[in-house]
A and B are shown apart, each in its own frame.
Chain A
Amino acid sequence: MKKSICIILIILLLSSLSSCINNNEVNTSTTPSLDASPSLVTDSYASLLPTHSTSVDRSIKYDTEGNLDYQAMWPEKKMLVWLYFDYFGILQYINNLDNSNPKPFSEFYTSIVSDELIVAYNDYLISLGKDYVIRFIRQDAIVDKIAEDYKALGDDNNAKQYFKFTEIYAYYFEFMKDMKNSGIQADIISSIANIKGTFSIKENDVTVQVNYTAIEESGADEINNDLLLDITDFLLDDEDKKLYGLFPDEYWSLFDKYNGIYGVYNNEIASSFIFYLRNDIINKYEVNISELDTIDEIDVFFDEIFDDYKTEITSSDLMLIRKFLDYSAYNELAGIITDKSNSTISYKYDADNNPAVINRFKDADYLQINKILAKWAARGYFNTSIVYNTDGSASASIAFAPYISYIVPGYQDYSNDSSDDIQYIPVEISRYILHDSRNKLIGIASWTKNGESAFDFLSTLFTDPHLSNLIYYGKNYKCENGLVKQNGNYSTSVLTASHMLYPNRVGEKRISDFKDAMSDAYIPPNYGFEPDITKMEYEFEEISRLCKEADSLWATHSDNFLSELENVITQLDALGYSRFLQDINKQLGQYIESKP
């Protein structure tokens, strides 16, 4: 038994090694017989690439303490200090403290920004004619207090879990406050991203899962404690409005509740829904993929494919469409936006193009898209991959069969994660939807003495792709055909503008399209609106459960979706759901009236 397993393992290892080496060879998949033929990518982006000078290696000068000597490297240039928090790097160091022989921070930690990268970064700024360079704050300035307090927790493993997942972030905030109170220079501030999740603790030898939210709204504490500068005057200065003009007015309205603009939310900005179809299918059916830009057209095309591949699809050897989306996300394709933090409320533009709260379960577009999805589920297009949670709602799809297509919000090509070396060709099936998530705020320190230079840098960071790509991919990155064919370092994303990053996978969003995407962006009807349900007396838990159940019906009850939906609607009505939506609609009306 063991011998045979070993032989199989060796064969599998060799074959996977071979596939690593020969990524472009024809796939050897046995099911089904859909020949993959990689498509050519034309280099229509060359003229749109940045015209930065090639980085030149030059010797790095260090001071007597062994630190990068900014004065010697860039004499007479102003230095701007950028504060950021490398959570993952610090977390690894904290974990190292639990070892019997922990290493000191200086030996353990490697900065996400090397000295070589800092030199390349600053030399590039100088080449742009800037009179300043950037000094990234060293993390050892933050970590000492964290390590001291962590060690003080001794063997209390539960307390250590809370510390690592929830309390650790506060040290960065306190660090900034100390810097301000002590008058220590800081100019640029990266706030920590919104983060939540689960961790486990042990109570009486029983493992307990703890849900946590560490950062609810990135930058909120910094704004409320006057750590960030209001940059409104800089943004609206006629001499340099390129940063202000980069985003729609609504984007800046995310700061309305703060009575000032305190930086730039780096929240991936916007995304459109993309339908990806296997290239070999496109060739076989001679499809003009640009015509498959609505869910109804996709449905008609699927009918044709299903007829040809019915056997493979119904026997679970092939998946016509892989599910990557949450159940309610599909409704956005019908222009119905459901509150991310509150699945009970949906919004849509009415016939007069005014934003309105709707009962989506009675909306014709909702019914149409869910009918299509129910049909796809009933025919097995999604394979047998739907997993049900204990509360009855459906959750992530786990599917290992080859798949012909998928839909995701934003460009994301999963070719390299599929079992075949197959290319998927993307087509946008929605306009760009502007995000209103307040996340990853990058702003200017309120106590800076270099406000103008700091704003100039902020403006450059969000409009010049090279700065972000240099930090993310490293100084030797190469962008060819709009792609950087290497992995980036996600930890550095706190120092980048997300929409400026070049993709490293075929089909991802190209930077050259960003301005076009913004000029025609779809503004969700509830953009920036936050419903207040705190003083309402409804059975929210039950309403929320029913709404999620209704959104999952196309998957869970695909054969009798409509009758099951009627049941849920009846239950919701009994809970006063219609009256609740009317109340929220009033709030929405007041919010819109209050906007300048």
Chain B
Amino acid sequence: MKNKKLFSILLFFILLFTALSVFAGSSSFSEPLGSGYWSGSLSVGNLVVTAEKNLDPIPPTINLSVGVSGTVWFVDYYGNEYSSNYSEYQDYVDGVAAVLILPSGARTFTRADSYHYGYINGSCDNNYLSASN
């Protein structure tokens, strides 16, 4: 229950930032995985990068794991480029999201990539996404 609540909060932020990132570059996938489906997306805006991963298992649900990790790139006001990595992983939940905020002193995110990992009842898969602002 606690995880579901956390997930709904995360989803709220995902949707919030999806709405904020109208002009952002994004990419996504949605595929069957074991006894269910899994999906993931990556969105790059000027201020925010969101990478998320969801499972939609068909009951009975025994074991679930989701993870998303990757790299974001951003530039400062001198054109210097920076990269930074991120990672979110949880067991027994059906979704995680990484929400990255542009650091102070940086001008804008330029691009991001994400590795998505999903596990449903013994079946697992990986997927890679990339997006530019």
Cβ distance B47 to chain A, nearest Cβ, rounded Å: 5
Residues 409-423 of chain A, each 1 if its beta carbon lies under 8 Å from chain B, else 0: 110101011110000
Contact call B113/A95, Cβ cutoff below 8 A: yes
Contact call B21/A207, Cβ cutoff below 8 A: no
Contact call A196/B82, Cβ cutoff below 8 A: yes
Known contacts A268-B78, A440-B79: A19-B113 contact under CB 8 Å: no
Cβ distance A151 to chain B, nearest Cβ, rounded Å: 17
Contact call B85/A489, Cβ cutoff below 8 A: no
Q: Which of A88, A325, A418 contacts B104 (CB 8 A)?
A: A325
Q: Flag whether A23 is at the interface (Cβ < 8 A).
A: yes
Contact call B19/A19, Cβ cutoff below 8 A: yes
Contact call B22/A396, Cβ cutoff below 8 A: no
Known contacts A396-B102, A498-B79: A88-B111 contact under CB 8 Å: yes
Q: Which of A207, A268, A324 contacts B79 (CB 8 A)?
A: A268
In the complex, which of the residues B73, B85, B87, B132 has the most CB atoms of chain A within 10 Å of its own CB atom?
A: B85
Contacts of B22 in A (CB 8 A): 19-20, 23, 416
Contact call B77/A409, Cβ cutoff below 8 A: yes
Q: Flag whether A1 is at the interface (Cβ < 8 A).
A: yes
| Chain B 76-113 interface residues, beta-carbon cutoff 8 Å to A | 77-85, 87, 101-105, 107-108, 110-111, 113
Cβ distance A10 to chain B, nearest Cβ, rounded Å: 10
How distant is the Cα of A5 from the Cα of B69 in the complex, in angstroms? 26
Cβ distance A471 to chain B, nearest Cβ, rounded Å: 15
Q: Flag whether B58 is at the interface (Cβ < 8 A).
A: no
Which B residue's beta carbon lies closest to that of A12?
Answer: B15
Q: Flag whether B45 is at the interface (Cβ < 8 A).
A: yes
Which B residue's beta carbon lies closest to that of A2?
Answer: B4
Known contacts A92-B113, A323-B104, A396-B101: A194-B81 contact under CB 8 Å: yes
Contact call B110/A490, Cβ cutoff below 8 A: yes
How distant is the Cα of A418 from the Cα of B16 in the complex, in angstroms? 10
In the complex, which of the residues A15, A325, A418, A439 has the most CB atoms of chain B within 10 Å of its own CB atom?
A: A439
How distant is the Cα of A340 from the Cα of B12 in the complex, in angstroms? 37
Q: Which of A9, A95, A324, A408 contacts B11 (CB 8 A)?
A: A9
Contact call B15/A16, Cβ cutoff below 8 A: yes
Known contacts A323-B104, A417-B45: A13-B77 contact under CB 8 Å: no
Contacts of B87 in A (CB 8 A): 200, 207
Q: Flag whether A267 is at the interface (Cβ < 8 A).
A: yes
Number of B residues contacting the other chain (C-beta, 8 Å)?
A: 44
Q: Flag whether B121 is at the interface (Cβ < 8 A).
A: no
Residues 190-202 of chain A, each 1 if its beta carbon lies under 8 Å from chain B, else 0: 0001111111100
Cβ distance A317 to chain B, nearest Cβ, rounded Å: 16
Cβ distance B101 to chain A, nearest Cβ, rounded Å: 5
Q: Flag whether B25 is at the interface (Cβ < 8 A).
A: yes
Residues 50-87 of chain B, each 1 if its beta carbon lies under 8 Å from chain A, else 0: 00000000000000000001010100011111111101
Cβ distance B37 to chain A, nearest Cβ, rounded Å: 15
| Chain A 254-276 interface residues, beta-carbon cutoff 8 Å to B | 266-268, 271
Which A residue's beta carbon lies closest to that of B4?
Answer: A1
| Chain B 1-51 interface residues, beta-carbon cutoff 8 Å to A | 4, 8, 11-12, 15-16, 18-23, 25, 45-48
How distant is the Cα of A408 from the Cα of B111 in the complex, in angstroms? 21
Contacts of A207 in B (CB 8 A): 87
Contacts of B71 in A (CB 8 A): 199
Q: Flag whether A27 is at the interface (Cβ < 8 A).
A: no
Q: Which of B11, B47, B83 contacts A5 (CB 8 A)?
A: B11
Contact call A417/B20, Cβ cutoff below 8 A: yes
Cβ distance A580 to chain B, nearest Cβ, rounded Å: 25
Contact call B84/A197, Cβ cutoff below 8 A: yes
Contact call B128/A95, Cβ cutoff below 8 A: yes
Cβ distance B126 to chain A, nearest Cβ, rounded Å: 9
Q: Flag whether A460 is at the interface (Cβ < 8 A).
A: no
| Chain A 266-300 interface residues, beta-carbon cutoff 8 Å to B | 266-268, 271
Contact call A195/B81, Cβ cutoff below 8 A: yes
Contact call B19/A439, Cβ cutoff below 8 A: no
Q: Flag whether A487 is at the interface (Cβ < 8 A).
A: yes
Contact call B79/A397, Cβ cutoff below 8 A: no
Contact call A5/B25, Cβ cutoff below 8 A: no
The 3 A-B pairs of least Cβ separation, nearest first, read A16-B19, A197-B83, A437-B78
With A19-B22, A196-B83, A417-B21 already in contact, 19 other A-B pairs whose C-beta atoms are closer than 8 Å: A5-B8, A12-B12, A12-B16, A20-B22, A88-B111, A91-B113, A95-B128, A165-B83, A195-B81, A197-B73, A199-B83, A200-B69, A326-B105, A417-B20, A417-B45, A418-B20, A437-B80, A487-B23, A490-B133
A sample of 7 cross-chain residue pairs with beta-carbon separation below 8 angstroms, ordered by A number, consists of A195-B82, A200-B87, A266-B79, A268-B78, A327-B104, A418-B20, A437-B80
**Interface residue ranges, B against A (CB under 8 Å):** 4, 8, 11-12, 15-16, 18-23, 25, 45-48, 69, 71, 73, 77-85, 87, 101-105, 107-108, 110-111, 113, 128, 130, 132-133
